Amino acid sequence: MPRIAIKIEASVEEKAQLEKLVGGRVTPRYLAQRAQIILDCLKGKRNREIAEMYNVCEQTVAKWRNRFAKRRIDGLEDAPRSKPARKYGKNFKEQVLKALELPPPRGFSCWDGGNLARHLAVPKHAVWNLLRREGIQLQRKRSWCVSTDKQFAAKSADIIGLYLNPPAKALVICVDEKPSIQALERARGYVETSSGKIVQGLKSTYKRHGTLNLFAALNVATGEVKTKTTDAKKRKDFQTFLEEVVVDVPKDREVHVILDNYCTHKRNENWLAEHTNVFFHFTPTSASWLNQVEIWFGILSRKTLRGASFNSKESLGQAIQDFVMAYHENAKPFVWKKREVKGAQLRNTLTNLVN
């Protein structure tokens, strides 16, 4: 059955006050319309009829009819608003940063938004809004190596000097190997998820077809890379690769080779005695990031190796060679720089959390 509207009545004074609201020059528009709705209700008009007259929904007319019946003219005013949302300013930001300096709750390895909210006794949305606004990503991690080499300053200065101011007419190359690259064969393609997004899909099972070792030599001045794949990474393989790198270099041109401290890079005095124009420069302990070829290995992994499928070691080797050829089309030297990390920077400042 349709609901019957409440019948309302008004005194002469109330009607006069309603008419004053309707015709008042300073009456807010919303209040004048509500007063007119009540006057029409007093004339016996139905809610639907009134709603059509003022282009509002029937429930709106019923609302003001009921409010007038209970609270008279005062009921036409807006109800008291709830308390304004609490604002979290600079002090709250400092509280979050100080909390991040503390050990996380027992059973957790790091802080997250929920734990921070519980620790500070604030709503979760306040923490998440601050983290989002400041660009803080608590789950993102970065690592760095702090070298304990007592000759770190001298060795790193030697290598950086070769990058920035190499000897005249000298060839500066960065050499290293990427060992045990697996030739994995697995089904892959693009799939549509239940949310409608298209993502790359990889089958969880795969076939192993062996591994390859990759030697690479980066020309610091041009950005070009010479490579060689081998089944092993012994000292003999390393020396053979170097032979191929320097074979076309005139004997009177110096070749400066930047290397890390891997065992096959050491004890090559006999080979160096036969190549008097070649000089080895070793990176400090735990500072292989000084070797620019590591940057190129990262590019190779992202562009060619990650998520790929190879049905043999030969196909893996061919993929690496194809990438090298494609890379050389736009090869250019790296603009080398590293951010210095000091002890004071390990604190949870906003600058460190968003970088």
* Spatial contact of 317 and 178, defined as CB atoms under 8 Å apart: no
Instruction: State the pTM of this model.
Output: 0.61
**Phi, psi (5° rounding) for residue 148?**
-100, 10
Instruction: Please list, in sequence order, all residues whose beta carbon lies within 8 angstroms of the beta carbon of residue 46, skipping any fewer than 6 positions away.
Output: 5
Q: Does the structure show a pLDDT above 90 at 11?
A: no
Distance CA 147, CA 145 (A): 6
Taking the C-alpha atoms of residue 286 and residue 52, their distance in angstroms, rounded to an integer, is 79
Q: State both tokens at 322.
A: 């194809």
Q: What is the pLDDT of residue 1?
A: 43
Residue 79, classified by CB atoms within 10 Å of its CB into exposed (0-12), middle (13-18) or buried (19+), is exposed
% of the chain surpassing 70 pLDDT: 92
Which residues are paired to 230 by β-bridges?
213
Task: Report residue 174: phi and psi, to 5°.
Answer: -110, 125
The mean predicted confidence, pLDDT, of the chain is: 87
Q: Are the beta carbons of 199 and 191 closer than 8 angstroms?
A: yes
What's the whole-number mean pLDDT along residues 64-80? Answer: 84
Higher pLDDT, 104 or 340: 104
State residue 347's pLDDT score: 60
Is residue 137 pLDDT above 80, yes or no?
Answer: yes
What is the distance between the terminal CA atoms of the chain, rounded to a whole angstrom? Answer: 65
Mean pLDDT of all residues in 48-69: 88
Token pair for residue 352?
């460190």
Q: E strands along the chain, which residues?
A: 171-185, 188-192, 198-202, 207-219, 225-230, 255-259, 278-282
Residue 181 has pLDDT above 70, yes or no: yes
Instruction: State which H helix or E strand residue 141 sits in.
Output: none
State both tokens at 307. Answer: 């998520």
More reliable by pLDDT, 147 or 292: 292
355 vs 271: which has the higher pLDDT: 271
Half-sphere exposure of 115 (CA within 13 A, CB side): 14
Predicted confidence at residue 296, as pLDDT, reads 95
Q: Decide: residue 148, CB within 10 A, 0-12 exposed, 13-18 middle, 19+ buried.
A: exposed
Inform me whether the pLDDT recorded for 346 exceeds 60.
no
Nearest to 349 by CA among 33, 118, 94, 65: 94
Of 133, 156, 171, the residue nearest 340 (C-alpha):
156
